[in-house]
Structure 1
C-alpha cells in the first residue's frame, strides 16, 4: 500500500524537490482558505498536512496533491458561523465516512459519465478561479484599514517580481532541469527582495492582514487527537449531515476530475475508487486532529507534475515539508515574497487553461461549445460541483435529444403481404414519440411485424410505448407480431406480451432499465 516510488519514471531527487516547491505554495493557499471558512490559519495548515500526507500514501493517484481547498471552504463558512468550529470537525469526520462508503460501493466509476466538454469547462473555469484568487494579492491596506488596489511604486515592484518569477519558470527548463524552475524562481526572487531591501509584502504580511493580528505567526505544534466536542444526538446529525453530504460530493468530484486530468498529463491511469477511500480516510483523520478537511488541488497538482513529481513520495514529502515549516522553519516561510508565489500560480493558470478550446470550439458541435462555456462560467460564479452537474445534465439532454430525433424505421412487405417495420436506434423515454409516429395502424395490412433486431428497448417508457402500439392494432382488429425482444422485455410487457414471437437463438439478452426487475 505504501509504495512511495510506484512510478518507474519518478526519481527521488525530482520528487523531493517538487515536494518542497509544492509545500512553499501550499502555505498561503491553506491560510487563505482557512480565512474563507472562518477558522484559524493553523486549522487550514493542519488540513493541508494531514490530507496531503494520507492521500499521497493510500490514495489512487500518485503525484496528485490534496489539501484544504476553496471549493470546500465556501461551504464550510456558514456552518462555522452558525455552530462553531467543533461542528466543522464533526462534519469533516462524517464527510470522510461518506467518501469511504462511496469508494467501497465503487461509485468512482461514475466519473466516466463526465463528457470531455465538461472536463474542458472544468479546467478552464478552475484556471480562471485560480487567477482571480491571485488578484487579491494586488491590494493593500490604506490608512483606514480598508483594502485598496496597489498604486505607484508598490504596484510596479509587485508586477516586476511576478514577471521575473514567471520568466524564470519559463526559461530555466531550457537551460537546466537540475532543479524545478518554480523552486528556483521562489529562491531567486526571495533572495533578490531581501538582498536589495525591496518593500513588498511577504507571506507573514499576508497572514497578518488576513487575521488582523499583528503578532500572528506560522509557527505551530504537532496536531493533537481530539474528539469533536459536539453532543452525540439526533439534532447534531441533522445539523452536520447536509453539510457533510455536500462537502463529500464536492470533494470527490474535484478529486476525481483532477485525477482524470493528471492521468492525461502523465499518460498513466489512477484508481478512482481507491482515491475515494483515500480522501475519506484523510478527512476522517483530519477531523479528529483539528483540520478543516480537504480534497485534491488542481493548482498544486500541476506544480508537482510540472516540477517532475510523479510518485507518492512527491505528495508525502510536500506534506512533511509543510509540517517541518510549521514546527521548525516558520521564519523561513514567512519571509518569502507573496509576489513569487503569485508568479508561480499565474504560470499554473497558463498551464491549466485549455487554450486549444478556443480553436476547437469552431469545429465541435455548437452544443459542446455551449457546454464548455457554460461549465467554465458556472465554476467561476458558483462552485465546481454545481458546474459539473449542470454540464452533465445539459450534455445528457443533448445526447437524449439527438438519439430521439434519429429514431427511424425501415419498412418492407414480405411474400405473405405482411408489413415489416425494422426500427433503427434505441427506444427510450425521449424517442417513444418518434417511434409511435412511424406506424399507421389504420392503413396497415392485417398482419404487421415489428422487428427489434436493430433497436434496443432501453427503459420502462419504451415498454409502455410497445404496449400502446399493441393496443392501437388490437383496436383495429389487426395482428401485431413482435420479434427479437429480450426475455426481460417479454416479462415486463403487459398488454403486448402474447404478441411476442420467441426465438431463443436470435433474441437479445440485454436487460431493460426498470424498477420492476429489482
Structure 2
C-alpha cells in the first residue's frame, strides 16, 4: 500500500525539499530525546544540527539522516543524573574518538555479519518502537501536572488531523511528485489548524510540557565552543569510559544497520568505515559545542528516502534548516500541529515494517523465524543495539549447532597400505568432538594421512583438535601426515607441527574478510 522502495536517482530540488521536510520532523524528536537524556531542549537541537551536518558532508551514506536519538539518550540519562551535563559532554567527546578509531581500524565491515533474520527483526522492532513513541503525543497534562490520555473533541481533532496528513502523503504522489508529499501535508494541516482555530497541540505545547516552563521556546543562538568543565584526570576517565564504550557501540550499530537498510531501499552501496569516522567526528564536535551527541535516525532517514532525498544535499539542508528554525523561524515551527508530525511518522511506521515477514514465518527455518520474533521483541523491550547483539549471538549458536553435524571423515586404504582419512566439512569448536570420534587410532597402520582438501580449519579449537589427534598417534608410535592444510593452521600447530610430518602440497590460503568493500 505504501511503497518506500525508490530509485537510486535523485536531484538537487528533491534533496532540498526533502531536507526541509526532515528538518520539520527533527524538532520534536530532538526535544523529546533531550528530555529523555535529562538535558535542556537546545542541547538536543544542537546535537541534531551538528551530527546531521557533519555526517551528511563527510559520511559514507548520502541520503541518511543523523541526529539526537533515543537509543543513545537512554544511556546518557544516568550519567547526567549522577555527575551532571559537563561529564556528558566529555563522555560524548570520548565516544567520538572511539568511533573514529573503529573507522580507522576498518571495523565497519563486521556489520556484514548481521544475518537477514536479524535485519528483519530489527526493522520490525524499530517500526513498533517508532509507533509507540508517537503515542506519547496523545497525552496532555492535567491540572495536577500529570500526563493523561486525550479525550473528547481534542482526541477526535488529533485523530482527524493525523488521518488527513496520512491521506495527503498517500494520495498526492498519484497527482504529482514535484514536491514531497510529507512537506505538503505538514503545511496544509498547519494552515488548516491556524485558519480554523482548531484545538490542536502544537510543537511549542510539546516543548513547554517537556520543560514544565510556560514560556519555553526552541529559539536560541549559535552553539558556542567550550571545553567540558571536568577534571582532566584518571578518575574522570574511569567515570566516562564505560558510558562512552556503550554509546560508541550503540551509535555505530544503529548507524551501520540504518546504512544497510538505506542501501537496500535505494539500490546503492554506502561505505561503513567512512560513516564510522564521520559519526565519530560529529560526536567529538558535539562534546566541544555543548550538545548531547547522536547517530543515524532510521525514522528520519525513511522520511528522507520517501520524500525523494538521495544526495548529501538532503542531509545538509535538513541540518541547516533545523539551525535556521532555531535562529530565525522558531515561531513558525512552533505553530506546527503535532498531529501532522505524528501522521508523517505513522507513514514511516507502515513503510518500515516488513509486512512480508508474516508471510514467510511459516516458510523459513524455525530458528530463523524465532530470531525474527526475538529481535523484534528485544528491540521493543530494551534497545536496538542489545537486540542486534542478541540476534547475532542466537543466529551464530544455531549455525554452529547445525554445522557441527556436517564434519564427515571417510576412511580408506591406498595402494601402499596407508590409511587415508578424508575430512569433509568445516572444522571448528562445535564439530571437533565429532571429528575426533571418527578416527580409529588403534586399528590404523603406522602411516596415516589426513586429507583436508575438502575441509576448512576455522579456529583455535580445530587446531587444538589436530594436536590432540597427533598426540594419540604419536603415543602409539605412528606417524600422521597432514595434507592440504592451510598455511595459517600450520603456523599455529604446536605438537603436530614439531612431531608430525606435514605435506604442504597445494595447500590453500584462506582470506576470511576483505576491507575493500567496507
Give me the TM-score of the superposition, normalised by structure 1. Answer: 0.94
Find the counterpart in structure 2 of residue 171 from structure 1.
Answer: 171
CA separation in 1, counterparts of 2:404 and 2:379? 30
Q: Is the CA contact 2:14–2:307 (under 8 Å) kept in the aligned structure 1?
A: yes
Find the counterpart in structure 1 of residue 205 from structure 2.
Answer: 205
- Residue 394 of structure 1: how far off its partner (Å): 0.9
The CA deviation string for residues 246-299 of structure 1, in whole angstroms up to 9 with x for no partner, is: 111111111111111111111111111111111111111111111111100000
Find the counterpart in structure 1 of residue 147 from structure 2.
Answer: 147
Structure 1 counterpart SS, 2:453? helix
2:429 matches 1:429: yes
Bigger CA drift: 480-489 or 216-225?
480-489
Q: 1:201 to 1:492 in 2, by over 3 A?
A: closer
CA separation in 2, counterparts of 1:258 and 1:8? 16
- Residue 124 of structure 1: how far off its partner (Å): 1.0
2:414 matches 1:388: no
Give the paired residue count. Answer: 507
The CA deviation string for residues 81-114 of structure 1, in whole angstroms up to 9 with x for no partner, is: 1111111111111111111111111111111111
Find the counterpart in structure 2 of residue 19 from structure 1.
Answer: 19
CA separation in 2, counterparts of 1:32 and 1:323? 17
The CA deviation string for residues 322-358 of structure 1, in whole angstroms up to 9 with x for no partner, is: 1111111111011110001000000001111111111
Find the counterpart in structure 1 of residue 448 from structure 2.
Answer: 448
Q: Is the CA contact 1:490–1:500 (under 8 Å) kept in the aligned structure 2?
A: no
2:403 matches 1:403: yes
Find the counterpart in structure 2 of residue 109 from structure 1.
Answer: 109
Structure 2 counterpart SS, 1:454? strand
Find the counterpart in structure 1 of residue 274 from structure 2.
Answer: 274
- Residue 479 of structure 1: how far off its partner (Å): 4.1
2:379 matches 1:376: no
CA separation in 1, counterparts of 2:490 and 2:326? 67
Find the counterpart in structure 2 of residue 3 from structure 1.
Answer: none
CA separation in 2, counterparts of 1:81 and 1:114? 34
Find the counterpart in structure 2 of residue 46 from structure 1.
Answer: 46
Give me the TM-score of the superposition, normalised by structure 2. Answer: 0.94
Q: 1:408 to 1:181 in 2, by over 3 A?
A: same
Bigger CA drift: 492-501 or 81-90?
492-501
Q: 1:491 to 1:70 in 2, by over 3 A?
A: closer
Structure 2 stretches lacking a partner, 5+ long: 1-6, 514-518
Structure 1 stretches lacking a partner, 5+ long: 1-6, 514-518
CA separation in 2, counterparts of 1:135 and 1:344? 13
CA separation in 2, counterparts of 1:477 and 1:258? 59
Q: 1:74 to 1:405 in 2, by over 3 A?
A: same
- Residue 459 of structure 1: how far off its partner (Å): 2.0
Structure 2 counterpart SS, 1:140? strand
Structure 1 counterpart SS, 2:120? helix
Q: Is the CA contact 1:61–1:270 (under 8 Å) kept in the aligned structure 2?
A: yes
2:464 matches 1:464: yes
Find the counterpart in structure 1 of residue 263 from structure 2.
Answer: 263
Q: Is the CA contact 1:58–1:278 (under 8 Å) kept in the aligned structure 2?
A: yes
